[in-house]
Amino acid sequence: MEFDTTRRRLARPAAGLSVTSAYWRRAVRTFACFVLALVLAGACARGREARILDQPPDTVYETDLLLSSTAEGEDGGEIGVLEAGVHWAAVYLYTGAGNIDLSLDVRGIWFLVSDYDQFPSQAGRLVLETGWTLSFGEDFAIQARAYPGFYGEFEEWAGNSVFVPFSVSFLQTFNADFTGVAGVIVRPGFRNLIMPRIGMAWQISEHVRWVGLLPESRLTCSFSRRWDGYLGFSWENTDFKLQEPEEQMMVEDFRAYAGLARLASDQFRFAVEVGTQLRRTMAFKNAPDVEPDDTLFVNVTLAGF
């Protein structure tokens, strides 16, 4: 099938994209120049409360725990994975030169069951996410984001595990309930250098909202002030630098899920999701790739305001 061919092609190592390469340094300089240009453009832009896609986060922190069922690889080996993460929205400011946000994102992956020698016991990321949204008039905005941080094994902190992905997006507001976005996420040093960020956000009614974006989309329905239900689909793709010299692991899958969230109090929200991980791939730079079967997962989330 054509889709399978594409996936195998993406799983091959991309030449010249190591974290110490000249390409990586050029990419960082390019992003720095872009940020400088945005600073100068701020003289003709102004901060404002956004319509849909650049609103302040509705929670201050969010922590989740995801457990997937054991899956079998093509050669019969088994894999069992546990994921956990914390996201803290630390700062959101309206300024005369645009809206600025700053957050901390920590996420770990533990391979509880693994019949493959190339797998680490764990890997994760520690990222300081920054964003800047410049609004030109009432309808158009440019959004720049950076995701610098550590992507590797937590047991082995090394300079070559530091990556600086960044994104640039254009937001067009058509009315108070409908916004479109188009942009790219650039990830120097990752196997997939470019990921798209394209789609739309639509407040269909007072109780129904659809955010149809790549890499993640979600349809949310509010049943009452305390209960929400939602359906979602996401494309997960992250690289991790491993302890082995010159080794790097890409973890990719597609997730379809359904969730139910309850506002437990004015300070906490609790949610449970069930879904499936589709077309999972663990691709390595110097070792055979592993493509386990599709598997089920349960994700429990606690968020605070």
Whole-structure pTM value? 0.81
Q: Is the pLDDT of residue 38 over 70?
A: no
Domain housing 25: 2-304
Give residue-wise pLDDT tens across range 148-179.
999 999 887 877 899 999 999 999 999 888 99
Q: Percentage of residues in the chain with pLDDT exceeding 70?
A: 82
Average pLDDT over residues 256-275: 96
Banded model confidence at residue 13, pLDDT cuts 50, 70, 90: very low
**pLDDT value, residue 76:** 87
| CATH number of the domain that residue 251 is part of | 2.40.160.40
Angle, vertex CA 187, rays to CA 182 and CA 190, nearest 5: 135
Would you give the distance in Å from CA 196 to the centre of its chain?
12
Place of tokens 């009614």: 205
Q: Is the pLDDT of residue 33 over 90?
A: no
Mean pLDDT (the chain) is 85
Task: Label the pairing between strands 61-68 and 71-72.
Answer: unpaired
Place of tokens 């996201």: 87
**pLDDT value, residue 181:** 94
Q: Is the pLDDT of residue 18 over 90?
A: no
Q: Percentage of residues in the chain with pLDDT exceeding 90?
A: 68
Give residue-wise pLDDT tens across range 209-234.
999 999 999 999 999 999 999 999 99
Give residue-wise pLDDT tens across range 177-215.
899 999 999 999 999 999 999 999 999 999 999 999 999
Average pLDDT over residues 231-242: 96
Closest CA to 142 of 34, 28, 30, 29: 34
**pLDDT value, residue 282:** 94
Q: For residue 118, give the amino acid letter.
A: Q
Q: What CA–CA distance (Å, rounded) separates 173 from 201?
A: 9
Q: Is the pLDDT of residue 30 over 60?
A: no
Banded model confidence at residue 52, pLDDT cuts 50, 70, 90: low
Q: What CA–CA distance (Å, rounded) separates 148 from 84?
A: 20
Average pLDDT over residues 117-146: 93
**pLDDT value, residue 56:** 78
Count of domains in the chain?
A: 1
**pLDDT value, residue 164:** 97
**pLDDT value, residue 5:** 36
User: Which range is least confidently modeled, 46-55, 82-91, 99-108, 290-299?
Assistant: 46-55
Q: For residue 61, give the amino acid letter.
A: Y
